[in-house]
Structure 1
Amino acid sequence: MRLHGLDIARFLAFCGMVLVNFRIAAGVTPGTDTASLLTNALEGRAAALFVVLAGIGLSLGRPDRTTVFRRAVFLFVIGLLNLTIFEADILHFYALYFLLALPLLTAPGRMLLRAAAMILLIGFVSVISLEYEANWDWKTLTYANFWTVEGFIRHSLYNGWHPVFPWAAFLFLGMWAGRFQLSSRRVQAHLVLWGAAAAALGTVPGMLVQDPELAELFGTSAIPPGPFYILSASGSALAVTGLVLAITPALDKAGLAEWLAAPGRQALSLYAAHILLGMGTLEAMGQLDGALSPTRIFGFSLGFCALSMVLVWFWNLFAKRGPLEALMHWSTNLAR
């Protein structure tokens, strides 16, 4: 079962990540302009939507454990290669999420929610009881000692960009959502309403706490990933998913659905492209020193997203899958 709306949501998540990552890579200081505020709102949300959609895909596709394991190995290798040029890589984290999900691929919805809650609890305990700031240089947003055993474990499990605890909770939440009949208007409405309510509720504790350190822990910033960030980002991810699924028929009638869905099906290749081509272009232009204004980097990001749609359309004239999607499909099925 494949829903165009999920592919469209995946492309929107990709665009959100482009907006956030390009601003970080270019060293642009956020301001109070509209472009900055929109990008601020996407920090930690676009990536969370990506992971939730990955969980939904696991439930809908129903791959066997061997296939999921091979995908995890592929993503881990590609992610480590990507880490040599982009420290905020998320692909190797995907691999760890998938490995954690292996025993629960066919678990009932309640068990998936319990697993998400347990992961969230472990993540919260880790942040408050372990040294979260270890190896971080917050001025440059760089992480030291990653390529050591201790640094890799810390970064992967609780204090990296997208640590397993608590980020894997997004995957299990997506797997839970994928158990529902997502083509149902009623289910879509519930996703929008309950998701929006959770997103709003998650912002309340951070506004009520006066102590700066507690406000950071109980806020909705992705660093550190506190429990109310997970609640709020999960809610926004489900709300966006439900909303996009609901409006997809209208987009289809307008002839836009396939244009938006096609790049979503090649999000893995586009993720690599936004680093190699997008950030590579910024570097070649000498624009990684914070010289660009928030509005200009915002425009550059949107331009890259539009270009991605054109590149995918051109690529699809010759192949059905994106280059990395084809490589993953080949490597996953090689032994068979």
Structure 2
Amino acid sequence: MKKRDFIKLKEKYFRENGGLLLQQQLARHGMETAKLYSAEELEKATNYYHASTVLGEGSYGTVYKGILPDNKEVAIKKSKIGARAQSDQFVNEVIIVSQINHRNVVRLLGCCLETEVPLLVYEFIRCGTLSEHIHKETKGASLSLGLRLKIAAETAGALAYLHSSTSMPIIHRDVKATNILLDENYTAKVSDFGASRLVPLDQNQLSTLVQGTLGYLDPEYLLTNQLTEKSDVYSFGVVLVELLTSQVALSFDRREEERSLASFFVRSIEQDHLKEILDGDIVDDGHVDETLKNIANLAKRCLRLKGEERPTMKEVATELDGMRITIMHPCGKADFGSEETENLETNAVAVKGDYGSSSTTSWYDSMQKQMLMPYDDGR
């Protein structure tokens, strides 16, 4: 009787965690079901979710490191208890990630639906988040300009793929430094698709409640509730500024006019104070002046208030790949393997444009102040 009750309980959790909806959605999109792990298997992998296995925590829940019986390391994402929205978000994440096959996107291995809250099982990325590295939260040397450019280019390439190379375009909607993971080779891996949205092919924008992270939110999306791929471009622009300055996107410890990094950065460029806000660890690198100026100008274009005036992620990725070639070998031949060199040279046609601001600094500051006001649906 206990065994029967236990089986019924697991079936109840499966339904409540969106298992039936997930099966329907996967069938509708023509995808195979992700591997289903048992609750017992994941409990043993994490030593029953011991505190020592916690990799990170957020509003969505907690991520644990697990070791499966075959000694494979995994990251297990455990949602918070209670809200129906969590189940919907869980199903959304599985649907999104099941469609992605890209070397710079964290790979989903499977899920578990028979527990009180749903669990997602991802490949384990060993070296933590980009945020931990650029904000000195982990021990080790500062990232060189070359490595920062590599990480930026790989992240931009992954986002460009999401926007244009999947069966249905995907808007990430929460691009930020903590959602970019680094492996032992400093290869960038974009993660956390809980807030992402599929965009029907006959639409170029979606009307949706605002969701994202303060400091990275697209001002146009915040005001209009109209989500487009250019919202990801804006958020990536903030990440690019973090890579240049090693400052956090939003800090109430800074003076009021400097709290929003995006606003402070744009104003610094317009006042010709760029060098004063750059991270000193990269200012002294070789080939810095021109390359840093090009990266800064690209970031500024990503941060334009009007989405239509921002470049596409494909254009951003192309420009960054071109800069990688230049910084690794001034003559234009990067010291990569032959295949990667050929690919970069094919795609690295710099997209030159007007680097000027599309609006006044006062307009920009006004928008940023509105972004700091509280609202209900932010993460």
Q: How high is the TM-score relative to the length of structure 2?
A: 0.20
Answer 1 or 2: which has greater helix percent: 1
Larger RCO of the pair (alpha carbons < 8 Å, separation 6+): 1
Q: How high is the TM-score relative to the length of structure 1?
A: 0.22
Q: In terms of Rg, which structure is larger? A: 2
